[in-house]
Amino acid sequence: MVDEEKTLGNSSSVDVDTGKHAGPTLEKHGQDADEAMKAISQLQGEAIELDEPTNRRLLRKIDWHMMPIMCCIYGMNFLDKTTLSYASVMGLKEDLHLDPDSDQYQWLGSLFYFGYLAWEYPTNRLLQMLPLGKYSGACILIWGLILCCFAATNNYPGAIAIRFFLGVFEAAVTPGFALLTSQWYTQREQGSRVNIWFSFNGWGQILGGVVSYGIAVGTQKNGSTIEPWKIVFLFTGLLTIVLGMAFLWIVPDSQLNARWLKEEDRILAIARVRVNQQGIGNKHFKWYQVKEALLDPMTWAFFFFAIIANIPNGGITNFFSQLIKGFGYTEEDSLILGVPGGAVEVVALLLNGWVGHVTGQRILASLGGLFASIVGMVLIVALPLSNNVGRLIGYYLTQANPTPFVALLSLVSSNVAGYTKKTTVAALYLIGYCAGNIIGPQVFRPQDAPRYVPGEITIIVCWGVCILMLLGVWWWYGNENRRKAQVCAAPGYVRMENQEWLDLTDRENPEFVYSL
């Protein structure tokens, strides 16, 4: 049961740093309260019954409606970015007249992230201001159309434009999914759900490898009226459009307009996430929350981690087909041999999500994937060129590297409260993601082929730094939880009525507990 009697009719808040009363703030926050407050207020004090069987029933219903479409879309989000890598060994470079001795292919890889970077903060503002489900679905449809247009380009400038705008419209996906996860799931549930939908990056790589290999072999045997790499872009673009239409139909803007929930279940779905102390959404832009985000050390820890962690990601994502080819395999082999790498990513993320959920230690659990990735890259660097199998196994191990990035992404959902603050931190985290991915392809220089040793050593160093940063984040949040517990235990502490619906930030709310 959600007990409404536990909240006191008091309009004072407590300064989280000093434990002293901060004065009347209910009036300040009441007019800017969360959307859920409107629904709760309509009950006029009526008790909300939410026993464990009802909670499990709702969770199953939410999972079966939300997770499949989010997983499929996120798989396409990865596949659509990496289609360029498959196309690079299927004739794209020759058909676009890319100079093999220049950085043109590297810049095609980076241009996607310039578009992503340019639109990341505006798209986060739009995710807050506009209906969340509808805006996200519209972006999915548009990026599918743009991807189809790549099949019509025949020169380098046209490819640059396509990659840039692809980045613009894909920029809404990850922050939008982080907001959806925080909106529908409790803090305890969020880590595993983020790992599940993010793991479909691996499924996207599996699908991309199988489809690209089938197209390459099939067209080689039977011929085709258009180039094989163009078929790959058309396939992925059209599939994205179909999934985008399904997303628009299934995913609501919030619990309040979910067509697949009964009227009473919509209120219960809101009540079950009350423990998050975050609400479900607020359309008002609050400058003080932006300021708090910019002054929060964890915002910048997330930002710089995202840059450093995604330098390896940007390099490997755009060059993995060429890396495998450099191990001594044919172009067709490089397509199908990328498939097990996707399977490794799926297993690593699901295992990481499960361990983090069971132990309550998402950050420490994520270190396992990072250590495995470092071992894999050392194998690629250290083994001789003749050891194709060993170096290929090393590549597969590197595919466990997303686990810490996903752990921190889930913490944006769980540990950042205040809707404006959350969208600001999410934007900065993904701006860092873009910056790292822009840098990544540039560390793989044409003159270093086929081994790319300088780029591979850079990746090892980046992952080593990431381990230290993760341990720092883990320590900081643990220390903050201990400090907040002392504030709440102070004799003069009085909790504010309905504070979980007042769109308070994590630092404003002394009862907000950070996930580790």
Q: Give residue 132's domain range.
A: 38-487
In a domain, 494, yes or no: no
Domain count, the chain: 1
Region class of 91: left (phi > 0), else alpha (psi between -120 and 50), else beta: left
Q: What's the mean pLDDT in 213-219?
A: 84
In a domain, 435, yes or no: yes
pLDDT greater than 90 at residue 261 = yes
In a domain, 319, yes or no: yes
Q: What's the mean pLDDT in 191-210?
A: 89
In a domain, 18, yes or no: no
Q: What's the mean pLDDT in 170-192?
A: 91
In a domain, 515, yes or no: no
Percent of the chain topping pLDDT 70 = 88
pLDDT tier for residue 375 given thresholds of 50, 70 and 90? very high
pLDDT greater than 50 at residue 438 = yes
At 226 the pLDDT is 83
Q: Which residues of 80-95 are buried (b: 16+ CB within 10 A; e: fewer)?
A: bbbbbbbbbbbbbbeb
At 369 the pLDDT is 93
Local structure of residue 171 (DSSP, 8 states)? T
Q: What's the mean pLDDT in 421-449?
A: 85
Q: What's the mean pLDDT in 244-265?
A: 92
At 320 the pLDDT is 67
In a domain, 309, yes or no: yes
Q: What's the mean pLDDT in 174-195?
A: 91
Local structure of residue 48 (DSSP, 8 states)? B
At 247 the pLDDT is 97
Q: Return the SS3 of 23.
A: strand
Q: What is each CA distance from 148 to 162, 229, 242, in whole angstroms?
A: 10, 12, 13
* Residue among 458, 424, 462 at smallest CA distance from 442: 458
Q: What is the CATH number of the domain that holds 340?
A: 1.20.1250.20
Q: What φ, ψ does residue 498 adopt, rounded to 5°?
A: 55, 35
Long-range contacts of 388-394 (CB under 8 A, 24+ apart): 388/327, 388/328, 388/329, 391/327, 392/324, 392/327, 392/329, 392/337
Classify burial at 6, counting beta carbons within 10 Å of its beta carbon; exposed 0-12, middle 13-18, buried 19 or more: exposed
At 32 the pLDDT is 63
In a domain, 75, yes or no: yes
In a domain, 30, yes or no: no
pLDDT tier for residue 465 given thresholds of 50, 70 and 90? very high
Task: Report the chain's mean pLDDT, rounded to a whole number.
Answer: 84
Most confident of 26-40, 100-114, 163-177: 163-177
In whole angstroms, what is the distance from residue 499 CA to residue 511 CA?
A: 9
Q: What's the mean pLDDT in 306-319?
A: 82
CA atoms within 13 A on the CB side of 96: 26
